[in-house]
Amino acid sequence: MHTQKLFRFRKLSRGIKNVSEMFVSKINVKEFRGIRECGEPLELSEFTILIGRNNSGKSSLLEALFLPPLPDSSFSLYGYDVPRIRLLSSLHGGLRSLIYGYSGHASIEYVLLDKNWRIELPEERDRADVFVNGEKLEYQPDKLAKLADALGAHGVQDMGALNNLVFFIPNDSGIMDRLHSKLQSDEAIQNLLIKSGSHVSIAKNLINRCVDDKYTEIFFRPELQARKEMPDGNFLYIKMKDLGDGVEKMSVFALWLEAIKPSLVLWDDFEVAAHPTLVEILLQWLSEHDWQVVLSTHSIDVLHGLLKVKPKNAKVIQLRKSAGDILTHQDLTLNELEDLFIANQDPRILVDLLRL
């Protein structure tokens, strides 16, 4: 049953790609997390990197992007059986923490698959209102067809499939541990990854390029491990946790992304525990898939890696939040990023000019 659901994710993703190249092309945030409002809506690209000082709104934007299309329907992701609005609130200590100033309501507008979506988060109840082109969306199971139509996924009958269109990787070790455990325990996901050959391709195309050893395959039981081929032809089975935080993180997230194949991948603090080589390999891998990517970083290695990989339709968005928590931004094309590097200019420091 579960496996069938996962197969439908893939079918759904392909269907949506026919509707639009990008899942979310624009976002405007009001009174959500640390952002009071955006000076102007942000236009996203197929591959977008957010940079800015600490507390400049990067994580808040990624979390806002995580909410659609179904902020509060229950589903199983990361091993949690909770609505994604609850998942975010658990990361921040309560639903009120999702609202700017801890009172009132948040409103987030999106251009999502060429339609205008709006999500309203009231402070007083843990349920969001969703509007598509101004019309309130009822997403009880009997109204699923209408929701699927709004997403361009005609005929989809599975709420779970719609939920997994967006995959968010927060900088949270608890989520990482849950995803790791779930890969070890969920037979349906394991079978899906084995059938698609992802357990081999991730070992060969990701892990082997980051380390000096040669790994041939990932095994899920009794625990997540990689088979290492020794020079004498013998094999060792190395626990994934013993390959270092960076390789473990990359492998676990890559396996999940291969299993779910979301339309939108969100990744906060992308560079954490990653050597520049791993950064570049992961950027390359992400760019080779048919999904939209938005990630945040403080690392110059990520920006430099971006120039080397040159994903199609990529851009950098510099963010700055004013003292009044108004979010301003400036876009940089890859050519502009390269020109700044040529002149020895650090784009991360240039965000200071956005206050002018």
- Nearest approach, Cβ of 43 to other proteins (angstroms)? 15
Q: Pick from 114, 124, 149, 339: which binds other proteins (CB under 8 A)?
A: 339
| Residue 75 dihedral angles phi and psi, to the nearest 5° | -160, 170
Does 298 interact with other proteins (rule: CB under 8 A)? no
Q: Is 304 near other proteins (CB under 8 A)?
A: yes
CA 322/CA 144 separation, integer angstroms: 41
Within 10 Å of residue 1's Cβ, how many Cβ atoms? 5
Burial class of residue 213, CB neighbours in 10 A (0-12, 13-18, 19+):
middle
Q: Which of 300, 313, 325, 326 binds other proteins (CB under 8 A)?
A: 300
Q: Does 340 bind other proteins (CB under 8 A)?
A: yes
Cα–Cα dist 190/228, whole Å? 20
Report, in Å, the least distance between residue 305 CB and other proteins.
11
Residue 234 vs 344, nearer CB to other proteins = 344
Query: Does the footprint of other proteins cover residue 344 (CB under 8 A)?
Result: yes
The pairing of strands 24-32 and 42-43 is antiparallel
Least distance to other proteins, CB of residue 210, Å: 21
Q: Report the nearest approach of other proteins to the CB of residue 340 (Å).
A: 6
Minimum gap (Å) between residue 42 Cβ and other proteins: 15
Residue 39 engages other proteins in binding (rule: CB under 8 A)? no
- 260: closest CA among 189, 311, 195? 189
**Chain center to CA of 141:** 26
How far is the C-alpha of 129 from the C-alpha of 239, rounded, in Å? 44
The tokens for 346 are: 């650090």
* Number of amino acids touching other proteins (CB under 8 A): 22
Which residue's CB is nearer to other proteins, number 91 or number 340?
340
Distance, in Å, from the CA atom of 285 to the CA atom of 267, rounded to the nearest integer, reads 14
Tell me the closest approach of the beta carbon of residue 88 to other proteins, in angstroms: 32
Binding other proteins (rule: CB under 8 A), the pick from 40, 187, 245, 346 is 346
Residues between 317 and 336 with contacts to other proteins, criterion CB under 8 A: 330, 332, 336
Question: What minimum distance in Å lies between the beta carbon of 270 and other proteins?
Answer: 18
Which helix (H) or strand (E) is 7 found in, with range?
A: helix 2-19
**Burial class, 136, CB count within 10 angstroms (exposed 0-12 / middle 13-18 / buried 19+):** exposed
Q: Which stretch binds other proteins (CB under 8 A): 184-192, 202-210, 288-296, 338-346?
A: 338-346
Half-sphere exposure of residue 309, counting CA atoms within 13 Å on the CB side? 25
Residues that bind other proteins (CB under 8 A): 300, 304, 330, 332, 336, 338-346, 348-350, 352-356
